[in-house]
Amino acid sequence: MSRPCLWTELLGETAPAEISLLIKSLRFERQLKEELENPPPSMMDSTVWGLCKDFTKGGGYFKIEAYIKTWDIQPVWVYNVDYIRTELEDDFKIHLYRALFMAPTARKPIGDRVNIYFAMEISKTEPEAPVEVRFLLESRRLIHTPGTSKFSEKWLTDITDTKDLFQRMMES
């Protein structure tokens, strides 16, 4: 169920589509696992993200912050992680978070912002299962899995460069 006014206010125009894409991806992967006789082991490392039975919203927040600290990005980037909400599925809960990145400078103290959306899927029926995590950068369609995607600072700069270009086009 979409709440355009609230979403637009909280996350900007593109957020609902991006979050919807994350949720669809988790559903699709879940269906694939159910259809396979011998599903492959999870790509999630339970020692990093934990087990479903141990998950808390606050714990998810700290796990995302710890994961971001492993990224090889310049210290000029500052960020903040926020909890957005929970999506309820039949046998799963999907907890949604947003990491808001910015690279302030003396010339532009409030720089262009880049949103990275995280989805953490928690099984209600399999408490020993690892927490499934995916993330997506704003205005991008590629869904990343921690442990299989190596984060690149270029992703952030590409988005800010695109925003700068768009802003200049709008001003001229």
- CA pair distance 28, 66, nearest whole angstrom: 27
Q: What is the C-alpha separation between 20 and 34, in angstroms, rounded?
A: 21
Of 88, 87, 91, 89, the C-alpha closest to 123 is 91
Burial 16-32 (b: 16+ CB within 10 A, else e): bebbebbbebbeebbee
Q: Residue 16: phi, psi to the nearest 5?
A: -60, -40
- Going by C-beta distance under 8 Å and a sequence separation of 6 or more, which residues neighbour residue 89? 27
Please report, for the chain, the start and end positions of each structural domain, with discontinuous segments joined by +: 4-171
pLDDT tens per residue across span 144-169 = 999 888 899 999 999 998 888 888 88
pLDDT band for 37, please (50, 70, 90 cuts): low
Q: Provide the whole-model pTM.
A: 0.78
Percent of the chain with pLDDT strictly greater than 70: 83
